[in-house]
Structure 1
Amino acid sequence: MNDKNFEYLKDQIKYTGFGETLENELKEKLQKEEPSFTLNHIAKYGEDTAMATLNFKKSEQSDMYFFNSYKVELQKENSKEALEQTFYINKGSNITMKEAFNLMEGRSVNKDLTNKEGELYNAWVQIDFKQTDDTNGNFKLNQYHQNYGYDLEATLAKHPIKELENPKYKEDLMDSLKKGNLQSATFLKEGNEIKQYIEASPQFKTINVYDNNMQRIDNRHSKEEKQSEIEQVSEKRGAKKQIQSADDDGPEAPKEDKRKRKSQSM
């Protein structure tokens, strides 16, 4: 067994969110020197159970093993079928187990990622449950890059959130949201402090707000989201006429002016 390889894989597993409980099993698998092997990890998030299968493969040129990916099966409390998604390990910042759970819950995660050229870039990542990748059956991962224009700090500033008044609390709040967490926050309304829950929504450049019963309460943002969806569909189809039709009042106004001027001249 390659001791340096063991130490590297042990740290990689730990910092991808699987802790240190797999350490002994990892060592046993490496000592067997098989072409590939898997490790299993189970995590509970509230009433939901997430089962991860970690995939390792030996190099064909050396005795080194590589942690290539992990598959998560999320069993929801009120669902019969488990939701499945495979997350790949790359040179940049890996998606952790908790972040994988948050993504499979439909939330967004902010990550520093690496492109094909090895260059680092930052983006929000969100699973698109309406599209799958034909090559591996995975749901598609949508990315909202820096140029997309989502500013989490500026978005939070639009809301009367008490934690924003304290620099440390503000930083902790933003870090939690970037990890894809549904985070509690204190809203100041008419002199009262109300505990609510928020999550980042980079696709619609806003945040979603929930009450203690996990019911959406930001109806105004919901309308904005619907409008944004319509605009995005129009852009994808290249239907510029549809966008222009929303401004029908524009071209009709001059015609009316012409009729008025004609009647005046008569």
Structure 2
Amino acid sequence: MNEKNFEYLKDQIKYTGFGEALENELKEKMQQQTSSFTLNHDAHYGNDIAVATLNFKKSDQSDMYFFNSYKVDLQKDNSKESLEQTFYINKGSNITMKEAYNLMEGRAVYKDLTSKEGQVYNSWVQIDFKESDTSGNFKLNQYHQNYGYDLESALSKHPIKELENAKFKEDLMDSLKKGNLQSATFLQDGKEVKHYIEANPQFKTINAYDGNLKRIDNRQTKEEKQSEGQSTAMKHDNKRQSQSSDDDGPAAPQEAKKRKKKQSNSM
């Protein structure tokens, strides 16, 4: 067995989101020197179960093995039929197991991808469940930088409290880029309300859901943003008016004193 090859594959498996539990089985399969082999990994996301089959193939020219792809069989809690999708391993940043689950949930993931020419580029990736290839794999739509989706700008159109703090904002954006359905605090009528949001690069916006995961109309959250802004503006106006009244207050007695003094002189 090629030890360097084992170490490389061990790390590749780990950083693709499958942890370290497959190390012993990986070593056993490599020692058998078969032309190909598979490893299985189960993951639970809430009540959903995702079973991944990792595919390895031996080189025709050497004793090295390659981790080529993994197939995910997703059994959702509320569905009798399972969903399958194969994700291919590339030289660049691979789609992790959790990202694969998020994609199969219909959400988008922001990745560093590598072109056939070896050039690295950034793109949002999202599964198109309406179109599949000859092997039954769903098409992956890509929304490159030139497509014009700006996550930060899309978030700024909503009254999200986390955006007021640089660290919280960064964490929120990082989570959304991984394809997560992320909780966020919305400011509504002066109150804090917990919603869930996800990136929507296709329509250059974000999707928002209430505590029961019911979709919220984007116009509603944008109106809340405007309402929150108007409320803040009114508070500032009232404060300025109050300060103006306070400034006028001391001047009135001075004027009264002047008038009184003038009357006294005339007498």
TM-score between the two structures when normalised by the length of structure 1: 0.82
- 2:42, 2:50 within 8 Å by CA — same for their partners in 1? yes
Task: Describe how 1:1-266 pairs up with structure 2 within 5 A.
Answer: 1-134=1-134, 136-218=135-217, 220=219
Q: Tell me the CA shift for residue 220 of structure 1.
A: 3.1
Q: Tell me the CA shift for residue 219 of structure 1.
A: 5.0
State the distance in 2 between where 1:171 and 1:17 align.
22
State the distance in 1 between where 2:193 and 2:50 align.
31
Structure label with greater radius of gyration: 2
State the distance in 2 between where 1:24 and 1:191 align.
55
| Deviations, residues 95-132 of structure 1 (Å, cap 9, x unaligned) | 00000000000000000100110000100000000000
Letter in 2 for 1:162: K
| Deviations, residues 6-47 of structure 1 (Å, cap 9, x unaligned) | 000000000000000001100100110110000000000000
Same amino acid, percent of matched pairs:
80
Q: Tell me the CA shift for residue 188 of structure 1.
A: 1.0
* Aligned length in residues: 221
Letter in 2 for 1:98: K
Unaligned stretches of 5+ residues in structure 1:
222-266
What is the aligned-residue RMSD (CA, Å)? 1.2
Which deviates the most, 163-172 or 67-76? 163-172
Letter in 2 for 1:9: L
State the distance in 1 between where 2:199 and 2:179 align.
7
Letter in 2 for 1:145: H
Structure 1 residue ranges, 4+ long, deviating more than 3 angstroms after superposition: none
Residue 170 of structure 1 aligns to a residue whose secondary structure is helix
State the distance in 2 between where 1:115 and 1:215 align.
38
| Deviations, residues 183-208 of structure 1 (Å, cap 9, x unaligned) | 00001112100000000000000000
Residue 78 of structure 2 aligns to a residue whose secondary structure is coil
- 2:131, 2:139 within 8 Å by CA — same for their partners in 1? yes
Unaligned stretches of 5+ residues in structure 2:
221-267
Show the counterpart of 2:263: none
State the distance in 2 between where 1:96 and 1:72 align.
11
State the distance in 2 between where 1:173 and 1:81 align.
33
- 2:183, 2:194 within 8 Å by CA — same for their partners in 1? yes
State the distance in 2 between where 1:80 and 1:198 align.
27
Letter in 2 for 1:31: Q
- 2:208, 2:218 within 8 Å by CA — same for their partners in 1? no
TM-score between the two structures when normalised by the length of structure 2: 0.81
Residue 53 of structure 2 aligns to a residue whose secondary structure is strand
